Structure 1
Amino acid sequence: MNIIIVGRRHGESKTLTLSTTAKTMMLGLLFALPFAMGSGGYWLAQHLADEGILDLNTAKAWERDLDHQRQQLQQIREQTGQELDALTLRLAELQARLVRLDALGERLIDVADLQGEEFDFGVAPAMGGPGELGQSYQSPEINDVLDQLAASIDSREQQLEVLDDLMSADKFNKATFVAGRPITRGWMSSRYGNRTDPFTGRPAWHAGVDFAGKDGADIVAVAAGVVTWSGDRFGYGNMVELNHGNGYKTRYAHCKELKVDVGDVVRKGDVIALMGSTGRSTGPHVHFEVYKNGRTVDPAAYIHRRPR
């Protein structure tokens, strides 16, 4: 068998003569090459299959993963929807609370007869402060809205607390305001100041006023206070002393019977004793004294005082 080889330059050619052995080997290679290629392809496919690259179930596995991810996404959407519903309900609840607080605040202002400009529940609380330059506006998230609403409710509650304190203080001042007569029935039998002593007939200082009346008649507190004395006292007989705060005290002497004990809290108009003639007394009456900052003052100024 001859093989002719043609060169590129000048059409040169060469002739090779193959021996019988070479011919046999070449024919064997030609017949073996297809088998070798088939075997190699099978081995490569098997190798790739072992590696999971060309697995026939890969597509199905991917589809299952996608279905699982779709289910997870649906669950997340449902959970987010539930959370949004809950936040919406909370927002509605906070708004309802705010409306009630505003209505209550306006009602308290009317009852307390305060200046509406100082506690205006119809407008947002005044706020301010320098902002940052170049800061762009961003739409608030629902949590931010809820936080702002909660802060607004806290502000309203603080206003109501202040208003309640003012009302309590005003109510306390009215209750402890010393004014009026210590009796429900009777008449003034002796005034404050210099007078003739009923026992000695000599000029003497009278530190209070006397109200005569029926034996056993009610003696009432002229203001709210705390009982600091309830018992017998020299010259006064059975006596009740009340501390009203702000430097004021009152005394009720010559009582027949005492109705309160030390430490009791009494309100304006409460019956604290019954009229009698104990101690240095000539008949049923109540000796009434008013102290301001430790010194007696004329009770007449408080008896005829206009109540608050």
Structure 2
Amino acid sequence: MSFQAKAAGLRNRLTELFVDREFFMRAQGEVRFIKISAKLQKRLVTLGALVLIAMIAISGAALFGLIATGMEQNQLAAKQQRIATAQERVAAYRGSIDEVAKDLAARQDKLDRLYKGHFGPLNDAAAPEAEVDETTRKVSAMIPEAAPLARLEARQLAFVSQLSGLADQRSKRAEAAIRKFGIDPRRFLKSNEASGGPLIKAGNTKQDYADPRFASLAGKLGRMDALERLLAAIPTSKPAAITAMTSNFGFRHDPFTGEGAFHSGIDFRGPRGTPILAASEGKVTFAGVKGGYGNCIEITHRGGIVTRYAHLRKFTAHVGQTVDRGQQIAQMGSTGRSTGPHLHFEVRVNGRAVNPAKFLEANPDVFQAQADARNRTDADA
């Protein structure tokens, strides 16, 4: 059905609904009638509808005003709540300044011990003032009461950066000294991952390690510690209190056959029973007879280094024992393939014999670097 047809049908129904109507009334013996035309009926209905629409509009406007007013009140209340919350947070931070101060003071004490443990007496090194001042200024602008704490924390972070620089210097010094002995420190660091040392927490661990300077310091101190412990353990002490060497490392004429042969160590001549000393701290991993070496002791040190002491008369250390540098481990003898009382001393790195003279005759600056490393590692023990 088309729109026009529908409209025509609606007009017909309205026409049928609004027709002229007459109403008869009797009053005091007389009959009267009232006629209401269809046109008047339409006007009355239209007027009523307009009045109803106006009333609905007025009520809706009033209701909308009430809703809008309620929303504004809610928004104002929420804003006031946010302001109160922010003020509470600031107040809480200000109220916790004492706790923050205690935490920072404890961290400073631990940093002082950390410095003393790795670098000796604490020096009053000046922190980068520009960085400290900038951090202090930013915090002071927001919370003036926290300015002293901000300055203290900024100085601590600058102090951590200085420690990292010192650790780098010590690592380079130790690495250079280790290479003078013909040892590649990279191989040792890779196998040991350059980790270890005492656990020293510095205040709030999660917060500290969120700062990259703390993570960097931890790695650099671990590397320095590993290198210095390796340097300290390198066997550089003479294995006997004698200086007479009868045979050097390398090719020589064999004392029994006279033919050319490779000599894998250094021979020290001395009286039978002369004390044989550990060239460095380590663990005794062999004590017994080893072919032409006769009675023999082997000590395993850090970094894959093993020292071998042969032709011994008597053992004074046993397998599994940890010995210190300079500790007596045996007596000189002439067991095995030997022409007389002497000590055959070998140094082996990762299973390969190297010239012990590199270890016993290093230049003074290398020995000093090793002595410093030993002093530091001994202090940590």
Q: Calculate the TM-score normalised by the size of structure 1.
A: 0.54
Q: 1:101 to 1:205 in 2, by over 3 A?
A: closer
Rg comparison, structure with higher value: 1
> 1:166: Cα distance to partner?
4.2
Residue aligned with 1:279, SS: coil
Map of 1:168 onto structure 2: 225
Q: 1:92 to 1:288 in 2, by over 3 A?
A: same
- Maintained 8 Å contact 1:227/1:263: yes
Map of 1:98 onto structure 2: 107
Q: Distance in 2 between matches of 1:244 and 1:122?
A: 45
2:198 pairs with 1:189: no
Post-superposition Cα deviations, 1:1-32, rounded to whole Å, max 9, x if no partner, equal xxxxxxxxxxxxxxxxxxxxxxxxxxxxxxxx
Q: Distance in 2 between matches of 1:121 and 1:231?
A: 60
Q: 1:112 to 1:227 in 2, by over 3 A?
A: farther
Q: Distance in 1 between matches of 2:257 and 2:317?
A: 33
Q: Distance in 2 between matches of 1:169 and 1:87?
A: 40
1:232-247 equivalent positions in 2, closer than 5 A: 232-247=289-304
1:1-308 equivalent positions in 2, closer than 5 A: 90-108=99-117, 110-111=119-120, 150=204, 161-162=218-219, 165-306=222-363, 307=367, 308=370
Greater percentage in strand:
1
Q: Distance in 2 between matches of 1:234 and 1:187?
A: 25
Map of 1:14 onto structure 2: none
> 1:123: Cα distance to partner?
9.8
Q: Distance in 2 between matches of 1:207 and 1:290?
A: 8
Q: Distance in 1 between matches of 2:282 and 2:130?
A: 40
Q: Calculate the TM-score normalised by the size of structure 2.
A: 0.45
Q: Distance in 1 between matches of 2:262 and 2:307?
A: 18
Q: Distance in 1 between matches of 2:238 and 2:323?
A: 16
Q: 1:98 to 1:300 in 2, by over 3 A?
A: closer
> 1:253: Cα distance to partner?
0.2
Residue aligned with 1:246, SS: helix
- Maintained 8 Å contact 1:175/1:267: no
Residue aligned with 1:172, SS: helix
Residue aligned with 2:301, SS: strand
> 1:167: Cα distance to partner?
4.9
> 1:214: Cα distance to partner?
2.2
Q: Distance in 2 between matches of 1:167 and 1:103?
A: 18
Give unpaired runs (5+ residues) of structure 2: 1-91, 133-140, 154-202, 371-381
Q: Distance in 1 between matches of 2:121 and 2:291?
A: 45
Identical positions, percent: 34
Q: Distance in 2 between matches of 1:291 and 1:278?
A: 21
Residue aligned with 1:235, SS: helix
> 1:232: Cα distance to partner?
1.3
Q: Distance in 2 between matches of 1:141 and 1:251?
A: 66
Q: Distance in 1 between matches of 2:350 and 2:117?
A: 34
Higher mean Cα deviation, 252-261 or 153-162? Answer: 153-162
1:297 alignment partner AA:
V
Q: Distance in 2 between matches of 1:112 and 1:299?
A: 35
Q: Distance in 1 between matches of 2:285 and 2:216?
A: 36
Post-superposition Cα deviations, 1:31-72, rounded to whole Å, max 9, x if no partner, equal xxxxxxxxxxxxxxxxxxxxxxxxxxxxxxxxxxxxxxxxxx
1:302 alignment partner AA:
F
Higher mean Cα deviation, 281-290 or 96-105? Answer: 96-105
> 1:254: Cα distance to partner?
0.8
Q: Distance in 2 between matches of 1:95 and 1:205?
A: 63
Map of 1:73 onto structure 2: none
- Maintained 8 Å contact 1:105/1:160: no
Q: Distance in 1 between matches of 2:318 and 2:244?
A: 27
- Maintained 8 Å contact 1:237/1:253: yes
Q: Distance in 1 between matches of 2:97 and 2:121?
A: 36
**Matched positions, count:** 211
- Maintained 8 Å contact 1:179/1:222: yes
